[in-house]
Structure 1
């Protein structure tokens, strides 16, 4: 009976952990890649908090102290897994990304799903996750055409073809959605 009670409490606390962490990552925080460093602070904090609670319960001879020691390993692991899963789908949730080649260089065109912002980068020389930004500005969807306006240039996307890219105004670059 004693072990069943411990297992039941452990499962309930695990479920509560998952719900709280899921709610924090997916509903409250919704982190973007610029704050991914926060995991370095949160993961050890979860470990330390659970170890302290486990130690306090051990000192007062509470039978649930074992659960907090086990949870000190499970909670940071669950948080880290949910954090990583959030980032795996980040780009596709917030951007429509296309790739195309021009002058033997690979370019990426990103259209924001939450605003009217676009960005074109050279990703052929991508080093350490950094790309070379080429053009950025606002876009507008008019019928089946996407008009993109930079400070110096106007480009169009019609039938998955980019028209007006500055390297060659006459070429229609075939866009491949990623």
Structure 2
């Protein structure tokens, strides 16, 4: 009936609304959604008319990683500009170069921080869509949907595995290394 369909539609949107306001890895997020438990035959209009927004949650995680990563990267660059070197530890940049709250990895289930590694003059090759890029100085990266820190050996922006390298800017470096 129309009334039952409208109630089901309201339940689906209410479920999504509640999940949007929760921490990314809270206990409710791992539970099946109302839409996933909906009978596709009985409520075909709801199932066909509404797309599940799991993809939107993934896009939100990527946006948070890119925004926070930009803030942290700007802080790292400011530290290097002022002191002429990369920090040995990211904690050296807190408060003066960026607020600590921006060092947040949305892919880390424990609500942890981005992974920062000081490389100094050592070179590290990072594989990705742009081919292999060699970086020095430091590297800042987030986990991806696999929730594992893989040492930034491969870059995948907002993907399901590998790491999400936030600094240095791999695209800009690849342009300079392409000969």
TM category, shorter: 0.3 to 0.5
TM-score (norm 2): 0.35
Structure index of larger Rg: 1
More strand as a share of residues: 1
TM-score (norm 1): 0.35
More helix as a share of residues: 1
